Chain A
């Protein structure tokens, strides 16, 4: 923060893109509200105030609770083992623990569904026709198996940053290793756990591929049903509003849970790394745990997909597959670049020119990310049809919707890079006679580029996997990998879905690897 930051007017070059982002997010959402309230109030009441809504709410909360519990049970031991134990090959283990992020939800659900049934993997090899995993259990397992890396990454960072003096003090006062963990270590992991939980909670609210395939009646599933089975516009709009209210509830709850806690170090000296805990006779158990986690989260989807490949000689239409992959990249790449380009002025504005406006726009960007994509896409459909028909079902609208929905994600890395840098370097350039824009471009931007690229790549992965926005807004005939996997899976054509599922995973894995390299400097 440069000393004279306050009371400076931000340049238009920063303000205009920020306002565009703000408007782009606010207008469709406002339009959704207008749409919802234009319905007959009596009809709305009949739709909303009925037991079914309570069922949806309860199921949504049950699913969230289930996924949070399961991901924590996976990620907490995993993070502890990888950071604090004396296991070897930690770099590889870290990569493996993040990789499940590359598996799209509908692919994970498809893998679990493909295990059972008459044509299933288990029946084919073991003669077992097990009942299909579905409903709450199915959705919980599928969602947990690919979202746990969010918690893992947070916990890993927190464990790495923990001052070992805290634990040593507890040990020297006579506490056992285990008691120390529960009395000292765990409470210090709470903020990391909460922010991981928030990301996953928002994800669960917005997910639609998994719940649709697992047939679990939560809000997003009901919205999809309204859209695909009936397209009752008012009801879909109201369901979206309810889901958005729930989203706000999650955001507020996380804020409240973190209020009034202090976790920073007090005192002088430099934080050290904690010494590694020898596993001793627990080693086989640790290995078994790791094997189980990786087999379920990475092995299972790959195995099931390859099994389908080997099952009947499926004619893979390579030309179509390539065209689909290119279309996917053709929408995801500009979307990711646009998100990164919009993130830059937003971050600079909020860090260097803090004001009520910039704060509001930043919050709006985070809210835009938190709004379930299905609701966001529906808002965009209504908005485009009502106010901008020339944009309806066009690629630019799809790309802009991607960028607006994910801009908050691209802001994270850029923001931390800018804060770490401070304003001194740029001021030095100014003293040497450079103008403000030139100083920023020649000094600050090169230092930010790495984080911009990392943020952009993160957005790219998510767009490749993204389903609802693509599904509702893609131009007619513009089918992407995710649409293909979902459509074929829901038509029960698991064989035909396999190549698309595999390419989707390969696509995302490639980028997860790249991101780890880009962010590798800070382990």
Chain B
């Protein structure tokens, strides 16, 4: 009996790995969270019959993993949290035909045509109306290093969107000012969180009073519970803390499913998906003709709030990582 059991197990062991070979057609590396991406992938699979496998991870992690993998990369598409990471990876991307993104404003895609934005978002200040009433909030993100905000601010240094914002600060305000700000925040005991969800949750939990995050996270909480005790706002007009950025995709030069990858990119720009990003995802569309999300500030408000920083200039991810590392944040 026992011997039968053992040899049965041994047989299984030999069979198991072979039984799990995938009939993969498209492999996506996603720096965006599963809760958000999975429904879109499902729509795409149902519509096209193409099988998609997704590897989830941090945006910077996947950008570096793609560099490490080089020609051996199994990835076909990189779906990143921000334009900066796409810029940093674009030497690995194939050119995307102009026809794919002809409906898009230039602001939302790379000048070289190697990546396209799929949804736009803004950096915001999330706050607790109870402990940090709106009239006490600072004019600029740079004011958060002041004494009065000591121990009260949360941030997520490993998050791709945050890193892109720091890169923008380095470009827009200069290296010195950016370093000074990061060090000032550390000295002010800014609390580190894993990601944006944790930041918004931490305000509700009473751990912090304000947090630097993206505009679409709060909507997820409010959608479940309209009395969720957190609100969000912009800094003064033109402040770097209100940066507009995009999530976007690039197609890998080494991909052997370029056609499917291009279909995927096109799919993300269809009105139906753009409407989903806007209504369900609380982001901003990157094509015209989408019904705006009533719970969000209008696109024009966001565009005036954000300073002009071309996304192509945000590709020095490495420099930002070094800055964050020197502050012991990574």
Interface set of A (CB-CB < 8 Å, partner B): 47, 51-52, 55, 116-120, 129, 131-132, 212, 215, 225-233, 235, 312, 327, 330-331, 333-334, 337-338, 341, 381, 385, 389, 392-393, 395-396, 399, 445-446, 449-450, 452-453, 456, 475-478, 487-488, 490-493, 496
Contacts and interface: CB of A to CB of B under 8 A. Distances in A.
A403 B14 CA distance: 13
A229 B61 contact: yes
Given A334-B14, A337-B12, A475-B22, 15 more contacts: A119-B204, A131-B206, A212-B194, A228-B60, A230-B321, A327-B20, A334-B16, A341-B10, A392-B69, A445-B3, A450-B2, A476-B27, A476-B29, A476-B54, A476-B55
Nearest to A46: B326
A330 B205 contact: no
B195 interface: yes
Residue among A118, A132, A450, A456 with most chain B CB within 10 A:
A118
Contact of B69 (A51, A116, A119, A385): A385
Contacts of A231: 58, 60-61, 63-65, 68
B158 A389 contact: no
Q: Is the interface of A mostly helix, strand, loop or mixed?
A: helix
A490 B195 contact: yes
Contacts of B20: 327, 330, 395, 478
A212 B196 CA distance: 15
B44 interface: no
B136 interface: no
Nearest to B197: A492
Interface residues on B, range: 35 or more
Contact of B158 (A132, A228, A456): A228
A337 B9 contact: yes
Interface of B: 2-3, 5-6, 9-10, 12-14, 16-17, 19-20, 22, 24, 27, 29, 33-35, 53-58, 60-61, 63-65, 68-69, 72, 74-75, 157-159, 192-195, 197-198, 200-201, 204-207, 224, 228-229, 321, 324-325, 328, 330
A477 B224 CA distance: 28
A312 B159 CA distance: 29
Which 9 pairs between the two chains have the least Cβ-Cβ distance?
A229-B158, A477-B53, A231-B64, A337-B13, A492-B197, A118-B204, A117-B205, A476-B55, A389-B72
A487 B54 CA distance: 13
B25 to A, nearest CB: 11
Contact of A487 (B29, B56, B63): B56
28 contacts: A47-B325, A118-B201, A118-B206, A228-B57, A228-B61, A229-B330, A230-B64, A232-B64, A232-B325, A233-B68, A330-B16, A333-B12, A334-B14, A334-B17, A381-B68, A392-B74, A395-B20, A446-B2, A452-B6, A453-B5, A475-B22, A476-B27, A476-B29, A476-B55, A487-B56, A492-B200, A493-B197, A496-B35
Nearest to A496: B35
Contact of A490 (B29, B64, B65, B194): B194
**Which of B16, B54, B64 has the most chain A CB within a 10 Å cutoff?**
B16
A334 B195 contact: no
A129 B206 contact: yes
A392 B325 contact: no
Contacts of B61: 227-231
A47 B20 CA distance: 41
A333 B12 CA distance: 8
A341 B35 CA distance: 40
A487 B35 CA distance: 10
Q: Give the most central of B6, B53, B56, B60: most A CB within 10 Å.
A: B6
A464 to B, nearest CB: 15
A341 B13 contact: yes
Contacts of A215: 192-194
Nearest to B9: A337
A45 B207 CA distance: 36
B248 to A, nearest CB: 20
Nearest to A332: B16
A477 B24 contact: yes
Contacts of B60: 228-231
A340 to B, nearest CB: 8
Given A228-B58, A230-B321, A492 B201 contact: yes
A232 B9 contact: no
A337 B69 CA distance: 31
A118 B158 contact: no
B13 A491 contact: no
Contact of A118 (B29, B55, B205, B324): B205
Contact of A493 (B35, B72, B194, B228): B35
A333 to B, nearest CB: 6
B247 to A, nearest CB: 16
Given A334-B16, A450-B2, A453-B5, A132 B68 contact: no
Nearest to A120: B205
Contacts of A312: 224
Contacts of A487: 34, 56
A492 B324 CA distance: 24
A112 to B, nearest CB: 13
Given A229-B330, A341-B13, A476-B27, A491 B3 contact: no
A232 B75 CA distance: 20
A120 B321 CA distance: 34
Contacts of A488: 34-35
A312 B57 CA distance: 28
Contacts of A233: 64, 68
Q: Which of A131, A212, A334, A478 has the most CB of B within 10 A?
A: A334
Contacts of A129: 205-206
A490 to B, nearest CB: 5
Contacts of A327: 20
B257 to A, nearest CB: 13
B272 to A, nearest CB: 22
A476 B197 contact: no
A121 to B, nearest CB: 13
A337 B14 CA distance: 9
A226 B157 CA distance: 11
A353 B192 CA distance: 54
Nearest to A492: B197
Contacts of B19: 330
Contacts of A393: 74
Contact of B9 (A450, A456, A490): A456
A49 to B, nearest CB: 14
Contacts of A476: 24, 27, 29, 53-55, 74-75
B10 A337 contact: yes
Contacts of A334: 12-14, 16-17
Contacts of A496: 35
Contacts of B195: 490-492
Nearest to A227: B61
B2 A449 contact: yes
B35 to A, nearest CB: 6
B62 to A, nearest CB: 8
A446 B68 CA distance: 48
A98 to B, nearest CB: 23
